[in-house]
């Protein structure tokens, strides 16, 4: 299990103050990075939280020039958005701030996507269709899941947000995926759209031989099982684990 980079803004500030010789060596050992790199990670995270999209490109270039694994940048995005969510929930920032943070993430994702895709493992990649269910416009989580699944060697067709059941069915018929991944963020879309989507896709499972995995903060493992999903992932790494274990017949709820 990958350790979250930092879990709250407070941790982040503490870490900044903690950067004396002793802790640098600890952090350096832990992450296998140089101090300069850790500073750039922090800077990227801080910049996302502040929504300073005009600064993103420069910081990202520094990190990529240092040849860091682009998948690690996804950890920073996840952490920054979790902190953004906590600040929003605590009413310390407004929805407009969340939008600005999301905008920064979009810029980063566009920049690192080609780097992750260019790793190409084999030509005949299996396909995974991914989408956020109808009525829900959250896209950052599935984008990260997409990048992880691509990193694991799948071709991912991301249908984006607010995806109707008809659109999922069309994509299944067209792309013949081995997995369909569904996301939901809101309690309403998890309880209604996600359930309805699984019900609508289920009759096609036998004919098209795909399995359904689900995720998103409003979805629990128990709920996923109850509504008829084949697998669940609490985060992008678990999404990869779920598809791997399902393929090997080793998935355990
Ligand atoms: C960013 C954000 C937005 C942005 C979305 C921008 C975008 N392009 O995505 C905007 C501003 C548009 C937005 C709008 C709204 N939002 Co909003 N939003 C968030 C926020 C702050 C962060 C979500 C996020 O990106 N997290 C970071 C990613 C990396 O994590 P993640 O999403 O959990 O994804 C991981 C896992 O869930 C998993 N996963 C995700 N998908 C999948 C799929 C599969 C198959 C698998 C296996 C795993 C998996 O892996 C991902 C990567 O590790 C959350 C708060 C939070 N803490 O979650 C609220 C939150 C989700 N939003 C909320 C609300 C209420 C809304 C609005 C209704 C607000 C409003 N009043 O208008 C609207 C809804 C619009 C709609 N119809 O969908 C609530 C939902 C409450 C609820 N439980 O119902 C939350 C929890 C905030 C809160 N505390 O109130 N939001």
Dump pLDDT digits (tens) for 34-55.
556 667 778 898 999 999 999 9
pTM equals 0.79
DSSP at 177 = -
3-state SS class at 227: coil
Cα–Cα dist 108/102, whole Å:
10
In the reported structure, the alpha carbon of residue 40 is separated from the centroid of ligand 1 by a whole-number distance in angstroms of 26
CB distance 60 to 108 below 8 Å: yes
pLDDT for 1 = 30
Provide residues with CB under 6 Å of ligand 1: 78, 81-82, 84-85, 88-89, 95, 98-99, 102, 135-142, 144-145, 181-183, 185-187, 213-218, 233, 235-236, 239, 242
CATH 1.10.1240.10 fits 9-117, yes or no: yes
Dump pLDDT digits (tens) for 160-186.
999 999 999 999 999 999 999 999 999
Pick one of 1.10.260.40, 3.40.50.280, 2.30.30.60, 3.90.1170.50 as the CATH number of 127-247: 3.40.50.280
Q: Hey, how many other C-beta atoms are within 10 angstroms of the C-beta on 156? A: 22
CB distance 148 to 176 below 8 Å: no
Q: What is the domain partition of the chain in residue ranges?
A: 9-117, 127-247
Q: Whose CA is nearest to atom 22 of ligand 1?
A: 85
Of 35, 192, 105, 145, nearest to 157 by C-alpha is 145
Q: Whose CA is nearest to atom 11 of ligand 1?
A: 99
CB distance 132 to 163 below 8 Å: yes
């Amino acid at each position: 299990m990958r350790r979250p980079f930092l879990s709250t803004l407070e941790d982040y500030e503490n870490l900044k103050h903690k950067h004396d010789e002793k802790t640098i060596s600890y952090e350096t050992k832990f992450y296998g990075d140089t101090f300069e790199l850790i500073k750039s990670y922090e800077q990227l995270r801080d910049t996302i939280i502040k929504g300073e999209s005009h600064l993103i490109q420069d910081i990202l270039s520094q990190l990529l020039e240092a040849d860091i694994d682009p998948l690690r940048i996804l950890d920073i995005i996840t952490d920054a958005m979790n902190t953004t969510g906590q600040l929003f929930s605590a009413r310390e920032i407004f929805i407009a701030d969340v939008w600005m943070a999301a905008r920064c993430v979009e810029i980063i994702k566009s920049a690192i996507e080609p780097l992750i895709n260019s790793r190409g493992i084999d030509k005949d990649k299996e396909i995974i269709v991914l989408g956020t269910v109808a009525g829900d416009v959250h896209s950052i989580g599935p984008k990260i899941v997409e990048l992880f699944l691509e990193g694991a060697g799948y071709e991912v067709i991301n249908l984006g947000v607010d995806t109707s059941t008809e659109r999922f069915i069309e994509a299944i018929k067209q792309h013949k995926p081995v997995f369909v991944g569904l996301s939901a963020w809101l309690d309403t879309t998890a309880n209604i759209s996600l359930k309805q989507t699984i019900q609508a896709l289920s009759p096609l499972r036998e004919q098209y031989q795909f399995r359904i995995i689900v995720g998103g903060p409003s979805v629990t493992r128990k709920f996923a099982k109850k509504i008829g999903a084949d697998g669940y992932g609490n985060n992008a790494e678990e999404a990869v684990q779920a598809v791997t274990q399902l393929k090997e017949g080793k998935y355990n709820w």
